[in-house]
Amino acid sequence: MTPMTDEASIADETIQVLRQIPTQTLIDALWVKEWPSTYIQGARPLQLGQSMAGRAVTLRFVPHRPDLFRDKPKGVESAEYVAFEMCGPGEVLVIDAMGWKYSSVGGDIKFMRLWQRQIGGLVTDGGVRDSVALKEYGFPVYSASTTAKQGPSDFWPWQVNDAIQCGGVLVRPGDAVVGDDDGAVVVPRSMVGEVIRIAHEREEVEEVIKAQLAVEQCSPGKYYPFNERTWQLFEEKTGKKRGG
C-alpha cells in the first residue's frame, strides 16, 4: 500500500459543491487549463438519476496466475476488503479492472459492505455482478457492464491506494471523482479549486449565450465556442470581467 501524499484532503464542503456541477462542465474547465480529458471511458451509471462526488480510494486488479493467488493476502486482509474499510460517505472507490468489461470486480455479498459503509460511490472499467441487488443498495455505481462471470477466473484485487488507470484516465488517491447521468470524471486534487471557479463561470457564460441566441436567432458559432464576442457579451450583460 502506498501512503497518501501530504497534500491537504478535499474538504467535505468542497465535495458537495462538486456534486452540483455537471460532469461536462468539469471536463470543459480542465480543458481550459490544458489538462487532458479525465472522462472515465466505459464507466456508465448502473441507474440514472444519481449524482456522485467523493475522494478517490483506488484499487488495482491484476491478471490471474496460480502463484499470485497463493501469495496474495486472504480473507479480510485481501486488497478489496482493505480498500472497503477506507471508504465512507465522502469517498468513491475506483477500481482498475484493466478494461476487462465482462470480468466481475464484485457483487452482492462483497458490496453489501460498501452499503454498510455508506460509500459515496463505486467506479470501475470492469463489470459488476448482481445488478438488481446493487440497485437496491442505492449507492452510485459506474461500471463498464453488468456480467454473470466470476472475477477470480480472470483477475485478482492486488494493490490499494496507489496511482492507477481507470477507463484510460490516471487516478491518484484523494483526487475528486464526480458522476452524473453522462458518466464519471476525475478532478485532480491539485486542480479542484480552480476547476470549480472556472466551471461556475462557464455555466454563467453559457446561460448568457443561450439567452442571446434566443434573441438573435443566429448560429451558435457567433458566441460558441467562447471567443472575443462571447466575453464582450458576458461583460455587457453581467458587468463582470473574464476570470473575475
pLDDT category, 13, cuts 50, 70, 90? very high
Give all domains of the chain, ordered by start, each with its CATH number. Answer: 12-189 (3.50.30.40), 194-238 (no CATH)
Distance CA 66, CA 75 (A): 17
* Lookup result for grid cell 464526480: 178
In degrees to the nearest 10, what's the CA dihedral of 28, 162, 90, 43?
A: 50
Q: What is the pLDDT, as a whole number, of residue 6? A: 54
pLDDT tens per residue across span 28-87: 999 999 999 999 999 999 999 999 999 999 999 999 999 999 999 999 999 999 999 999
For 157, phi then psi, to 5°, come to: -65, 135
Tell me: cis bond preceding 73? Omega within 30 of 0 counts.
no
> What are the grid coordinates assigned to 31, written together?
480543458
pLDDT digits (tens, 9 = 90+) for 206-239: 999 999 999 999 999 999 999 999 999 999 999 9
Per-position b or e across 132-144, b if 16+ CB within 10 A of its CB: eebeebebbbbbb
Count helices and strands (H / E) in the chain.
8, 12
What is the Cα–Cα distance from 40 to 183, expressed in whole angstroms?
Answer: 7
Is the pTM of the predicted complex or chain greater than 0.75? yes
| pLDDT band for position 1 (cuts 50, 70, 90) | very low
Q: What is the mean pLDDT of residues 15-38?
A: 97
Q: How confident is the model over 93-105, as a mean pLDDT? A: 97
